[in-house]
Structure 1
């Protein structure tokens, strides 16, 4: 994978992570956190899709690497909700 392909993959992961965080209604951090949430969401979303027997609906192929857009967004939202619940359980509610 070239540098340009890797950068495009990072941008796609960041956008998916940001959309997932927006759907969850909770922000975990900045751009780097959105990239990490996007990649974790892709793995979590594909795992959930595999458990329920769902197909890959919208996948982007970047230099031989496939990135599931829809499952990354859904997985990012689920991961963000889990992190928000854990954070509020340990630190308490803040108004």
Structure 2
């Protein structure tokens, strides 16, 4: 994997993480956090799709890697909701 391919994957993950956070209605942080949420969301989304036997709807292939965009957004939203619920239970509703 070249540096250009890695940067493209990071940008795609950041966009998917940001969209997932927007759908969840909760912001976990800035751009770096959106990248992490995007990658974690991709794993969660693929796991959910695998459990229900759903196909990859829209995947972008960068070099030898494929990034499942739709499942990354869905997984990012689920991950963000889980983190928001945990933070709300620990710190209360006033802190975001």
Match of 1:41 in 2: 41
Aligned counterparts of 1:4 and 1:93: Cα–Cα separation in 2: 41
Shift >2 Å, 4+ stretches: none
Aligned counterparts of 2:92 and 2:45: Cα–Cα separation in 1: 28
- In structure 2, the gaps of 5 or more residues are none
Aligned counterparts of 1:9 and 1:94: Cα–Cα separation in 2: 34
**SS of match in other structure, 2:56:** coil
Q: How far off is 1:36 after superposition?
A: 0.1
Match of 2:30 in 1: 30
Aligned length, in residue pairs: 95
**SS of match in other structure, 1:17:** helix
Give yes or no for the alignment of 1:10 onto 2:13.
no
- In structure 1, the gaps of 5 or more residues are none
